[in-house]
Amino acid sequence: MKRKAVLIVCDGLGDLQINGKTPLQMAKKPNLDRMVSHGSSGLMYSIGPGIIPGSDTSHLAILGYDPKQYYSGRGTFEALGVGIKLEKNDIAFRCNFGTVDRKFRILDRRAGRIKDEGKILEKEIDRMKIEDVTIIFKASVEHRAALVLRGPGLSRNISDVDPHEVDKLNEAKPLDGSSEARKTARIINLFTKKSYEILSKHWINKKREAEGKMPANIILTRGPGIYEPVISIKEKFGFSSACIAGGALYKGIAKYLGMEILEVKGATGRYDSDLVAKGTAAVQALKKHEFVFIHVKGTDNAGHDGNLKEKVRMIEKVDKMIGVLIRKSNSIIALTSDHSTPVSLKAHSGHAVPIVLYGDVVRRDGIKSFDEISCAKGSLGILRGLDVMPILTSLMGYSKMYGS
Amino acid sequence: MKRKAVLIVCDGLGDLQINGKTPLQMAKKPNLDRMVSHGSSGLMYSIGPGIIPGSDTSHLAILGYDPKQYYSGRGTFEALGVGIKLEKNDIAFRCNFGTVDRKFRILDRRAGRIKDEGKILEKEIDRMKIEDVTIIFKASVEHRAALVLRGPGLSRNISDVDPHEVDKLNEAKPLDGSSEARKTARIINLFTKKSYEILSKHWINKKREAEGKMPANIILTRGPGIYEPVISIKEKFGFSSACIAGGALYKGIAKYLGMEILEVKGATGRYDSDLVAKGTAAVQALKKHEFVFIHVKGTDNAGHDGNLKEKVRMIEKVDKMIGVLIRKSNSIIALTSDHSTPVSLKAHSGHAVPIVLYGDVVRRDGIKSFDEISCAKGSLGILRGLDVMPILTSLMGYSKMYGS
């Protein structure tokens, strides 16, 4: 018999104790605790003990794709996530609109966190041609954007223009001796200059300057990736799948793996995200799909912001979403995280995260609370990210027997 | 000091809770609980988390042979198990006597579960020649049999004739473009037809038809394997070993690994198997051998049959056998399972199984009950099948130090 499943990844959920309790231990979470009490739990390292996972590599692993084989740079996912259709060997970058002065010193890496102006500015840059390379450019939320270089003889092996802090602009540099890396660095440096020439003259930026705001007068590239099509979740595991996420990265990863991307009103990838709406959308999606992946970003934001109160509040919002799924999804439910983002560290860390499985084919192992300490005693032991999908697909009835 | 050991594998033992308890939690099992109370316990995935193991691959792993290296099809073990002496590159099949009509439509995949007639019918087929290939054929219990093709230029890469359900007979098809696969498929298709021609005319089948029974008028092949001799347990671990099992598959795996196969009266591989006789035979075998592997099949049968009562009863029979071993074997005793076969699923599943080690060199970790939930808290943690023999051989005093 086949079963359906929902996998929820609460980004950066794992944490450390603050005055004796982790945020998960502080939060009121009757539904998460119900999942644990009726299910199996454990801890998980999405990559391995002591490895600090990025959000991209960890999600690949949790979704069943070994990042050693399938990861080739974050830009790819960002470009897919903002809706760019990629072709094989496209070089994709994650970008910011930024603000520089005439000497290319960075005044603001986020151009004063522009709102919707990126959607107007992108038209001036998109489909630009430099040498034999076509530039594809698409603005995303606020100052964020994605850039793609399409043309012959390119490489992802170049350094970032974005210096990642307020500093002088970096020049893109080839990271190996290949002519491809040299060409790509040259194109990016030409593009960076051109972006300044075009954007600094644009009326939107003139207006922003007149209003005393930072102009969005340059594109800062980073995280190059090279795109290659991969085997889809449908081909790999045999079932149809959908993704519900606010952030472009997670939509991009899901699209990379062939999942349908569902747009849910109020799913923002921020503290204000409507998680009950995401839960309800997942219940709906299960009518069409066998597997739904829900991503929650706010828990990670709270970790990066060092905001304990928001982290606890986000967990309590997640708990309400779980209530909807328990009552209405009639499916296997799995919940975990991609990595810890302890509020005391304000950064990703290598600490294990808790994981729980819930459903009629899951053993009850007697653990009562969903948190980092209780789940360490659970019957799943200590898993790796790559274990999650084999476990789920065997519970769902989609695994082939190994041997006979 | 060297120690002897008994390893008991209760097939398909792992299960899920039914009204809050697994069959292991329901059964009266004072001896198993004594083993746990005086020993170390844990959980085990014979292959890995979420992998649904076949009986063949899982036993190879538990007996210390990585199936990725040593598994090349089930037929090999079936042929060895019924007593055929294999030579390198022999292609071996698991077979059923079946019943077909004149249009080769299958009326019964098991020929009305014939009793001993197979032993007479086998003589008509054994040592047949097709082209330059010799056919070796041996009947086993009821409708079961094994077939071996011996000759130049053969391959295991062909499809099954047995359609695995009541349907039209399949034609064996090559699964790759090699001339070896094409030749093997051709030989098998010729053999299938010949088996019908010979068997349908046989007096035993005339008699069965006259009695209104299904005639055993065709041989249905499946699960091809190619035989290659492997390093024996004696060479690999340094000690002499014996196997006590009812089912042909398990005897075949043991023979493949160079164990002595002990025939025990009353060991049937069914619910009625005399497990106390098997335990007593193991105690006896330990006078000659250092290591005895006991296989119990009934627990798996009960899982496949969805028969909770029989599963609990089989566990209680196992417990009595353990009583004999605890009292009389004076050896290390290990008990585990190859995979879960939950009675609610009636099929192998990917759920972990419990494992227990007992003996004077084993730590007492304070677990009190041998079941899936209690052993999850045991000191062995979560093992893989391939961990079992290294742990046992080090307890037995046969391991070499790694380094110095």
Q: Are A295 and A247 in contact (CB under 8 A)?
A: yes
From CA B192, how far away is CA A154, in angstroms rounded?
58
- Residue B115 in tokens: 């009793």
Q: Which residues of B touch A394 (CB under 8 A)?
A: 50-52, 349-350
Q: Centre a 10 Å sphere on the Cβ of residue A165 and count the other Cβ atoms it contains.
A: 7
Backbone angles phi, psi at A44, to 5 degrees: -145, 140
A165 pLDDT band (50/70/90 cuts)? confident
3-state secondary structure of B117: helix
pLDDT at B141: 85
Nearest-by-CA chain B residue for A379: B376
- Using CA atoms, how far residue A122 sits from A217, A247, A363, B99, B121, in Å, is 12, 19, 52, 72, 81
Nearest-by-CA chain B residue for A392: B50
A346 pLDDT band (50/70/90 cuts)? very high
- Smallest Cα distance from B298 to chain A, Å: 17
Task: Express as a percent the part of chain B with pLDDT over 70.
Answer: 100
Q: Which residues of B touch A396 (CB under 8 A)?
A: none
From CA B42, how far away is CA B37, in angstroms rounded?
12
Q: Are B309 and B281 in contact (CB under 8 A)?
A: no
Q: Which residues of A touch B377 (CB under 8 A)?
A: 377
| Average pLDDT value for residue range B206-227 | 96
Contact A394 B56 (CB under 8 A): no
From CA B14, how far away is CA A398, in angstroms rounded?
20
- Whether the per-residue pLDDT at B260 is higher than 80: the answer is yes
pLDDT at A244: 97
pLDDT at B149: 98
- Residue B304 in tokens: 């496949």
- Residue B274 in tokens: 């005399």
- Using CA atoms, how far residue B78 sits from B7, B82, B137, B158, B175, in Å, is 21, 6, 11, 17, 22
Contact A403 B54 (CB under 8 A): yes
From CA A327, how far away is CA A279, in angstroms rounded?
11
From CA A305, how far away is CA A282, in angstroms rounded?
28
pLDDT at B346: 96
Q: Are B14 and B352 in contact (CB under 8 A)?
A: yes
Q: What is the mean pLDDT of chain A?
A: 96
From CA B389, how far away is CA A24, in angstroms rounded?
40
pLDDT at A268: 87
pLDDT at B76: 97
The model's pLDDT over A32-86, given as tens digits with 9 standing for 90+, comes to 999 999 999 999 999 999 999 999 999 999 999 999 999 999 999 999 999 999 9
Backbone angles phi, psi at A248, to 5 degrees: -65, -40
Strand partners, A50: none
Q: Are A62 and A336 in contact (CB under 8 A)?
A: yes
- Whether the per-residue pLDDT at B366 is higher than 80: the answer is yes
Strand partners, B130: B133
- For residue A147, give the H/E element and its range: strand A144-150
| Average pLDDT value for residue range B217-243 | 97
From CA B269, how far away is CA B10, in angstroms rounded?
11
3-state secondary structure of A114: coil
Q: Which residues of A touch B387 (CB under 8 A)?
A: none
A166 pLDDT band (50/70/90 cuts)? confident
Q: Centre a 10 Å sphere on the Cβ of residue A152 and count the other Cβ atoms it contains.
A: 10
Contact A394 B349 (CB under 8 A): yes
Contact A379 B352 (CB under 8 A): yes
Quick one: DSSP state of residue B164? S
Quick one: DSSP state of residue B313? H
Q: Which residues of A touch B352 (CB under 8 A)?
A: 379
Residue B57: which of A363, A379, A402 has the nearest Cβ?
Answer: A402
pLDDT at B268: 87
B166 pLDDT band (50/70/90 cuts)? confident
pLDDT at B164: 82
- Residue B67 in tokens: 């199936």
pTM across the whole model: 0.93
pLDDT at B75: 97
From CA A13, how far away is CA B263, in angstroms rounded?
57
Chains A–B, number of C-beta pairs less than 8 Å apart: 84
Contact B53 A394 (CB under 8 A): no
From CA B322, how far away is CA B238, in angstroms rounded?
26
Helices (H), A257-366: 275-285, 298-305, 308-328
Backbone angles phi, psi at A223, to 5 degrees: 60, 50
Q: Which residues of A touch B53 (CB under 8 A)?
A: 401-403
Q: Centre a 10 Å sphere on the Cβ of residue A75 and count the other Cβ atoms it contains.
A: 28
- Using CA atoms, how far residue A356 sits from A31, A56, A334, in Å, is 12, 21, 6
pLDDT at B8: 98
Q: Are B352 and B340 in contact (CB under 8 A)?
A: yes
Nearest-by-CA chain B residue for A377: B377
pLDDT at B12: 98
pLDDT at B237: 97
- Whether the per-residue pLDDT at A6 is higher than 80: the answer is yes
Based on C-alpha coordinates, what's the Rg of chain B?
A: 22
pLDDT at B163: 87
Q: Are A47 and A57 in contact (CB under 8 A)?
A: yes
Q: What is the mean pLDDT of chain B?
A: 96
Q: Are B252 and B230 in contact (CB under 8 A)?
A: no
Strand partners, A168: A105
- Whether the per-residue pLDDT at B395 is higher than 80: the answer is yes
Backbone angles phi, psi at B21, to 5 degrees: -135, 145
Q: ipTM strictly over 0.85?
A: yes
Nearest-by-CA chain A residue for B78: A404
3-state secondary structure of A40: strand
B250 pLDDT band (50/70/90 cuts)? very high
- Whether the per-residue pLDDT at B278 is higher than 80: the answer is yes
